[in-house]
Amino acid sequence: MRIDAELLNSSWKIRYEDLLFLDNSKSTSSVNSMAMGSSAAKHLHAYNNVANYEGRMVMVKKLTTTKLELSKDILMELRNMRLVEHANITRFIGACMTMETPYVVNEFCPKGSLQDILQNDSVKLDASFKNSLMIDMAKGLNYLHNSILGLHGRLSSSNCLIDSRFVLKVTDFGLHKLMGNEKEETHNQDKLLWRAPELLRDPSKLPTKESDIYSAAIILQEIVTRTGPFETERLQIGTEGILEKVASHGNDPLRPSIPSDACDAEIISVMKQCWAEKPDERLTSKALLASVRRLSKGTNSENILDNLLSRMEQYASNLEVLVSERTAAFLEEKKRSETLLYEVLPKTVADQLKRGNSVDPESFDSVTIFFSDIVGFTSLSAASTPMQVVTLLNDLYTCFDGIIGHFDVYKVETIGDAYMVVSGLPVPNGLCHAREIANISLALVKAVSSIEIRHVPDKTLQLRAGVHSECRIHIYLVLHILLND
């Protein structure tokens, strides 16, 4: 009678209107800017949305089941889910059954899944951190195996979430009756890599505690090697080949290969016991927890506060390295952008734009302009390939740009073989612009004769130069003196 009263109480019920999704479209794209880290942004494991419920963040899973009858078995599952609570499992908040499509609501873990952490190269995992993750996973699984739920049934690294204190919490457990009509993702064979061989041979067989232990061993392999399940084997025979070999009966069943230097031999021995071919030869969850605790030499057993501080220090160190790398990359990109900007615009104009100021038009009373082209360039281009023309112009303007850097001039533009330079702007230089342009004219005319045409080495280039200035008499005198010299 007491249980029946609890079933009718329906404390698990959640109204859809009380779930405040992060955006109107209920997409996961806005999660990054709210509460999740960069690692969690890559994938939200089995859950579809993040929402705010009664002032706290929750994960919302949308079930594919559309026709659902709340039988006594399902009500019992929902009641049992509310009863289980442990530091290493996510808390079941409730379910929304008022809509056509049901929703399951669980505790939110902002750091993403274990799979995200392992795949994120910017997060450094030392031996202590790895041991903590293994112990947390074993603790959560051991609690489930000894709870009213009895087992997990869908254990994988994507179902192990990391909370804000870097504690691993097992999720997506229970509710087997409620999710009994869920469509199996057979198109994604990667999800089957954690499945025990006896379940691969007979998909209709229900999960067991022993199959959970097999899945836990695969997660241990992911943690110690920091790679995906069967990573080496997948490169050789692919996921389908792995599943066939794992499911086949043989004297030497396929299991993940682990480099000898990845971890201690004792941890490898524990994994081998957990993924034994015969289910009854596998470790129990209690024995698994005891083994990883012993191998970790007390990590996360007694000094909980010390271990938590160690995790936070490790995370802070990772952030410092990441920020330093990103800052250096930003400064390098900023330098390249400024260099490009200075090549396109005068430095005075570019500096004003960088400061956010507007650039007003200016008028200059007196300037001198130089313009030039190559004699016979049209016929030379007609007899050359496009790449040969580009190479010639590149050699020509590389030489010119190196020369004008020694004079008080500004290159306006280059179009084809035309080269235009001006002096007296954007920084006025009195009447010196006539002298500067006269000097640069002679320097370029002299330099062009030394430029070799790569595809026509016996031909010499000639430069046709022109000058326009308000100080025509100055230009004439300067050129006259220089040419006579």
Q: What's the CATH code of the domain at 116?
A: 1.10.510.10
Residues of the domain holding 475: 368-484
The whole-number pLDDT of residue 307 equals 62
Residues 110-143 pLDDT 10s: 888 999 888 888 777 778 888 888 999 999 999 9
> Domain total for the chain?
2
What is the mean pLDDT of the segment spanning 368-388? 87
Span 183-207, average pLDDT = 82
Tracing tokens 């090697």 back to the chain, one arrives at: 225
Judge if the upstream peptide bond of residue 203 is cis by omega within 30 degrees of 0. Answer: no
Q: Is the pLDDT of residue 300 over 70?
A: no
Residue 449 lies in a domain: yes
Same domain for 293 and 392? no
* Of 366, 361, 294, 277, the residue nearest 131 (C-alpha): 294
The CATH code of the domain that includes 468 is: 3.30.70.1230
Among 280, 301, 322, the domain-final residue is: 301
User: Residue 259: pLDDT above 80?
Assistant: yes
C-beta separation of 365 from 470 below 8 A? yes
Q: Is residue 313 part of a domain?
A: no
Looking at the structure, do residues 270 and 410 belong to the same domain, yes or no? no
Tell me what the pLDDT averaged over the chain comes to.
80
Do 267 and 414 belong to one domain?
no
Instruction: Give the CA distances from residue 194 to residues 1, 153, 155, 224, 241, in Å, rounded to whole numbers and listed in that order.
Output: 40, 11, 7, 16, 15
Indicate if 254 and 386 belong to the same structural domain: no
154 and 285 co-located in one domain = yes
Buried b (16+ CB within 10 A) or exposed e, 13-41: ebeeeebeebeeeeebeebeeeebbebbe
* 8-state DSSP, 123: S
Is residue 459 in a domain? yes
Residues 255 and 392 in one domain: no
The pLDDT tens digits for 2-49 are 766 666 666 778 888 888 886 534 433 333 333 344 444 444 444 557
17 with 108, same domain? yes
Please, are residues 36 and 110 in contact by the beta-carbon 8 Å criterion?
yes
Q: Are 30 and 37 in contact (CB under 8 A)?
A: no
From 275, 301, 327, the end of a domain falls on 301
304 vs 208, 218, 298, 300, CA distance in Å?
A: 31, 26, 10, 5
Greatest distance between any 2 Cα atoms in the chain: 119
Classify residue 209: in a domain, yes or no: yes
pLDDT band at 67 (very low <50, low <70, confident <90, very high): low
What integer pLDDT is reported at residue 35 of this predicted model?
A: 38
Q: Are residues 383 and 293 in the same domain?
A: no
Which residue among 276, 301, 326 closes a domain?
301
What percentage of the chain has pLDDT greater than the value 90? 21
- Residue-wise pLDDT for 205-257, tens only, equals 899 999 999 999 999 999 999 988 998 888 888 888 999 999 887 777 899 98
Give the strand pairing for 410-415 and 368-374. Answer: unpaired
CA 452 to each of CA 60, 220, 455, 457: distance values in angstroms, whole numbers, following the listed order: 70, 66, 9, 6
- Mean pLDDT over 94-98 rounds to 81
Split at pLDDT 50, 70, 90, the class of 65 is low
Residue 342 or residue 283, greater confidence: 283
Highest mean pLDDT among 203-217, 251-265, 375-389: 203-217
pTM: 0.61
Q: How far apart are CA 256 and CA 217, in angstroms?
A: 10
pLDDT the model gives residue 39: 43
Q: What is the pLDDT of residue 301?
A: 44
| Percent residues over pLDDT 70 in the chain | 82
Residues 413 and 370 sit within 8 Å (Cβ to Cβ):
no
Beta bridge partners of 94: 105
Residues 131 and 120: their CA atoms lie apart, in Å, by 18
